[in-house]
Structure 1
Amino acid sequence: MNPVLYDLRGLKCPFPVIKTRKKLAAMASGTLIRVDTTDPLAVIDMPHFCNEDGHELVETEKTETGHRFLIRKG
């Protein structure tokens, strides 16, 4: 299953987490989403969000402009 791509580049904290939470709420359990961010705090916020909301942070990758997160909905 290919992940849903979600481009949140340009948004500052807390918007990447807020928008990811809203997007995941509309998705089926087990769905993969790949989130691109440029917010430097996302590297702290996304893992915390996944842990708090019961999602699996499958992968974190540093990109040229920020970070990319692969999340499996819990």
Structure 2
Amino acid sequence: MTEYETTETLDVKGQNCPMPVVKTKQSIDGLTSGEVLEVLATDSGSMSDIAGWADSTPGVELVDQVEGDGLYTHYVRKTE
């Protein structure tokens, strides 16, 4: 289990690039600073896509990524 509380869960299972990143950005925009978004994806490319997006986007931090059983779970914190 994670050591941080998620504020919201975004389900993008079945969606491929670039939709997981697009939907993640839209959801993060609706959060307040310090809140964590959990993103559930089935696209293996989302591991690098969301990590790259978080690295290059001010105001967000990739907290963790978990891979298992064809599901890729991302935890993104809004920092601003």
What TM-score comes out, normalization by structure 2 length?
0.85
Specify the alignment match of 1:2 in structure 2: 5
Specify the alignment match of 1:61 in structure 2: 66
Specify the alignment match of 1:28 in structure 2: 32
What TM-score comes out, normalization by structure 1 length?
0.91
Specify the alignment match of 1:41 in structure 2: 45
Quick check: 1:12 aligned with 2:22?
no
Give the counterpart letter for 1:53 in structure 2. T
Percent of residue pairs identical: 26
CA distance in 1, matches of 2:29, 2:16: 21
Structure 2 residue runs without a partner (length 5+):
none
Runs of 4+ aligned structure 1 residues displaced above 6 Å come to none
Give the counterpart letter for 2:75 in structure 1. L
Give the counterpart letter for 1:71 in structure 2. V
* Corresponding residue SS for 2:43: coil
CA distance in 1, matches of 2:30, 2:9: 14
Question: Shift of residue 66 of structure 1?
Answer: 2.7
* Corresponding residue SS for 2:62: strand
RMSD: 1.2
